[in-house]
Amino acid sequence: MAFWLFKSEPYVFNIDDLANRPKQIEPWNGVRNYQARNMLRDHIKKGDQAFFYYSSIPAPGVAGIMDILQSGVVEETQNNTTWYMAYVRFKKKFSRFITLEEIKAHPKLKTMQVARRGNRLSITPVTKEEWHIILKLSLG
DNA sequence: GCCAACGTTGGC
DNA sequence: GCCAACGTTGGC
């Protein structure tokens, strides 16, 4: 099983929206970046898990986690390019929001891709260690 | 609102 | 194929 981080602008779609969907399932679509597309197509698998990350707000960070039900689903083909999406399901909303500031301050989290300056990828891989540290922090 | 860090587009 | 100009993302 692999771990990921998916970005969303929470005023567009947030983890409560996901929790309120029928069966708490939603297609994660609209990804129009080739690197992220390739992850959806080739690397993200059923059974993986992902952080739900809030971007473009005063204090960005991780709000909770979701399950990947299916990935590499064709969303749209335009010109000669095929775009893919994943189906995600609500798993858990953290009792404590983990801010990017906290991630950057943590010695074992500050190397996370999302903490890198200028990082724009909307989907990034997360290591097993990073995953578990953030889960533990969310309980505290 | 500013700016860094890309990604994309289009002229050559 | 190169690169300048422009557009977008996203943190601050």
**Which residues in range 108-137 of chain A are in contact with strand C, contact meaning CB within 7 A of any of its atoms?**
114, 119-122
| A56 Cβ contacts chain B strand, under 7 Å | no
Q: How many CB atoms lie within 10 A of CB A85?
A: 21
Q: Is the dihedral of CA A61, A63, A68, A74 positive or negative?
A: negative
Give the pLDDT score at A28: 96
The nucleotide whose C1' lies nearest the CA of A119 is B5
Chain centroid offset of residue A50 CA: 5
| A118 Cβ contacts chain B strand, under 7 Å | yes
How far apart, in whole angstroms, are the C-alpha atoms of residue A95 and residue A63? 9
Looking at strand C, which nucleotides approach a protein CB closer than 7 A? 8-12
Looking at strand B, which nucleotides approach a protein CB closer than 7 A? 4-8
Residue A45 · residue A2 · CB < 8 Å: yes
How far apart, in whole angstroms, are the C-alpha atoms of residue A127 and residue A115? 14
Per-residue pLDDT tens, chain A, 140 aa: give them.
Answer: 999 999 999 999 999 999 999 999 999 999 999 999 999 999 999 999 999 999 999 999 999 999 999 999 999 887 788 999 999 999 999 999 999 999 999 999 999 999 998 888 999 999 999 999 999 999 98
Which token pair is A29? Answer: 């679509």
